[in-house]
Amino acid sequence: MGGAVCDDRAVSDASPSRPRPPSVERVLGPVRASLPGADPSALAALVRAVVDGERERLACGGQARAAEELAAETVGRVRAFTDPVAEGGPVPPRVINATGVVLHTNLGRAPWPAAAIEAASVAAAGYGYLELEEVTGRRGARFRAAEEHLVALTGAEAALVVTNAAAALLLAVGLAGRRGAVVVSRGELVEIGGGVRIPEVVARAGARLVEVGTTNRTRAADFEAPLAEGRARLVLRVHPSNFALTGFAESADLVEVAGIAHRHGALVVDDLGSGALLDTAAFGLAHEPTPSERLAAGADVVVFSGDKLVGGPQAGLIVGRAELIARLRRDPLARAMRPDKAILAGVAATLGLYRAGRAATDVPVWRAIARTSDELRARAALVAEAVGQRAEVVALDSAVGGGSLPGQVLASAGLALRLAWPHRVAAALRRGPDRVLARIEGDALVCDLRTVEPEDDAALARRLAGVALAAPR
């Protein structure tokens, strides 16, 4: 056996005075007694891992523990494997999002609407006619409720749901055909996030890229030559959803580009990114183009995310002309991007809320966007009171985030704690229990209440009071 590694020092196992861990058998006995019905070989494997860990700990000079203590540790680990709120459990550690960023990609973007959670859980729990026709008993089309909602909500001829918008984009670019070419404005050759870049997506789809225009200015006429000469059969438009081009800038109007494309028998695929189904202008934001507007302007296929401004499960939503959607559906790649039955149900329930006219109240993302600064200031005052004198109520700007509405902010409110070491305090808050992800502005730790659910205000106050007491002035 090799030596243990303790704080970068390798320690030999050969020392004569070192205590030895209890045997696997001595630990396994009480573990089996505490977990009746569990497969003994699975438990034995875990006990061996715990005993191995103990041996390392002892090699590093740790205090010896009794077999019962190791058994309790093993039982705790076993229970955590399936406990949704346990440390080391199956769910990413829950966190109170006090960043004010509504769609925080690193925090899993949209929290699901309650209706979506319920629908997904029912779909997950049993068998269902996912791809079987009730009347004929034969294999049929995959369950289409989400797609029917998309058709109704966007006015498209047809729709398709895949695993995420990046997949939807890859699939749609494939409409250019093998070794086909795709025209993209140089102003839209962007990185959509996580290192995924449009030129690479086009290459991966098996197509060639034809660049037109310049970084800051592209006109509709720039698309004319490659399409007229038959050098490309598909125009890809990419919505600038995570950056803004200002100053001497111009982008080609979709109506004009689609006119040119269609005149030359080419298709227009529009990557809308976020794809709002409600009018963002009604919430004090700039108007974000909607899928139906883009279809009406001439896009043949529009792709957008299920978990950005739509506010539901991660999914790629594709709407457009029936014949093209049918081609996408037949593409073998579509099979590799097929969403799970529970996700499909969650997407359908989320879209159902839009059709029922309840999106602004029942979709958490829109509820967060709709909170007024007055309402947030009133909550902040109560939290500040509970925290004590070091907390100050402040006016803030929250971002929508998640590659939506760059540069756009919502007037918000929250708390600021002026601290000697705000980064250290933020790091302490990030850890559990009741983890809090806050912002740092200068020497202040800042919590924006827009993204905090009101039922978490008390936990937030408790955590802030704790760090305010502990932190040096």
Ligand X SMILES: *Cc1c(COP(=O)(O)O)cnc(C)c1O
Kindly give the residue spans of alpha helices, DSSP state H, lying in 35-113.
40-59, 67-81
Using CB under 6 A as the binding rule, the residues of this chain from 219 to 278 that contact ligand X are 238-239, 241-242, 271, 273-274
Q: What angle do CA 47, 51, 56 make, to 5 degrees?
A: 150
Q: What is the three-class DSSP state of 326? A: helix
Q: In the set 403, 425, 460, 467, which binds ligand X (CB under 6 A)?
A: 403
Q: In the set 193, 206, 406, 466, which binds ligand X (CB under 6 A)?
A: 193
Nearer to ligand X, 239 or 367 (CB): 239
Distance separating alpha carbons of residues 14 and 36, to the nearest angstrom:
38
Asked if 31 and 47 count as a contact pair (C-beta separation under 8 A), the reply is: yes
Q: Find the residue with minimal CB distance to ligand X.
A: 273
Rg for the chain (alpha carbons), in Å? 27
Q: In the set 99, 154, 164, 412, which binds ligand X (CB under 6 A)?
A: 164
Q: Minimum distance from CB of 336 to ligand X (Å)? A: 15
* 388 CB-near residues (< 8 Å, 6+ apart): 465, 468, 469
Task: Say whether residue 448 binds ligand X (CB under 6 A).
Answer: no
Task: Say whether residue 182 binds ligand X (CB under 6 A).
Answer: no
Smallest CA-to-CA distance from 215 within 238, 191, 239, 249 is with 249
Using CB under 6 A as the binding rule, the residues of this chain from 51 to 80 that contact ligand X are none
Count of CB atoms situated within 10 Å of the CB of 12: 10
Q: Minimum distance from CB of 167 to ligand X (Å)? A: 7
Asked if 363 and 113 count as a contact pair (C-beta separation under 8 A), the reply is: yes
Nearer to ligand X, 103 or 419 (CB): 103
Q: Minimum distance from CB of 44 to ligand X (Å)? A: 42
Nearer to ligand X, 288 or 456 (CB): 288
Nearer to ligand X, 81 or 243 (CB): 243
Q: In the set 156, 169, 258, 410, which binds ligand X (CB under 6 A)?
A: 169
Q: What is the three-class DSSP state of 405? A: strand
Task: Say whether residue 415 binds ligand X (CB under 6 A).
Answer: no
Q: Residues for the chain: how many in total?
A: 473
Task: Say whether residue 201 binds ligand X (CB under 6 A).
Answer: no
Q: Site residues (CB under 6 A) for ligand X?
A: 164-166, 169, 192-193, 238-239, 241-242, 271, 273-274, 305, 403
